[in-house]
């Protein structure tokens, strides 16, 4: 259970410990791959390590970052007659991008666009996934306050 708040926290902990077996792990730092930084200014959540792991999986650590996740005017099609890419890897990466949107809503549109081609991904769809990853590589420290 994750409890957030500053009112009556000690009383709440004691009440829960009385009813259930519980261990107090203190202030949360990581949760499901999401880093949580708490300060007097607020709470900042990001997935820098998760994003870095995705980029490493494709050996893109040295890629050139781009300024936008999806270029303006990009048009993808299911009818594109090009080489088909490995669908399993494509699905894994698109799923990873969708999970990354938990703290990165700025890539939501791009992730949803590439997710519509999971049935039969082509080379152009794969290039768009790599474009999104190049954007993520240049914005690893982004997150939510």
DSSP 8-state class, residue 6: S
| pTM given for the model | 0.82
CB 16 within 8 A of CB 98: no
Torsional sign, CA 55, 60, 62, 68: negative
Span 4-51, pLDDT tens digits: 666 677 777 778 888 888 777 777 888 888 999 988 888 899 999 999
Asked if 104 contacts 44 with a C-beta cutoff of 8 angstroms, the reply is no
Q: What is residue 72's predicted lDDT score, i.e. its pLDDT?
A: 84
Where do the domains of the chain lie? 46-144
- The pLDDT of residue 75 is 81
| Alpha-carbon span 114 to 127, nearest angstrom | 10
- Residue 42 is predicted with a pLDDT of 87
């Amino acid at each position: 259970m994750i409890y957030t708040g500053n009112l009556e926290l000690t009383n709440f902990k004691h009440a829960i410990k009385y009813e259930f077996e519980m261990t107090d792990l203190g202030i949360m730092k990581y949760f499901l791959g999401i880093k949580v930084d708490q300060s007097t200014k607020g709470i900042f959540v990001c997935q820098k390590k998760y994003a870095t792991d995705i980029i490493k999986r494709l050996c893109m650590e040295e890629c050139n970052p781009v300024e936008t996740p999806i270029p303006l005017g990009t048009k993808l099609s299911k009818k594109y007659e090009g080489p088909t890419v490995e669908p399993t890897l494509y699905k894994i990466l698109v799923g990873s991008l969708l999970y990354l949107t938990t703290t990165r809503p700025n890539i939501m549109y791009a992730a949803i666009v590439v997710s519509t081609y999971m049935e039969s991904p082509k080379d152009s769809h794969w290039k768009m996934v790599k474009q999104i990853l190049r954007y993520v590589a240049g914005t690893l420290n982004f997150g939510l306050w």
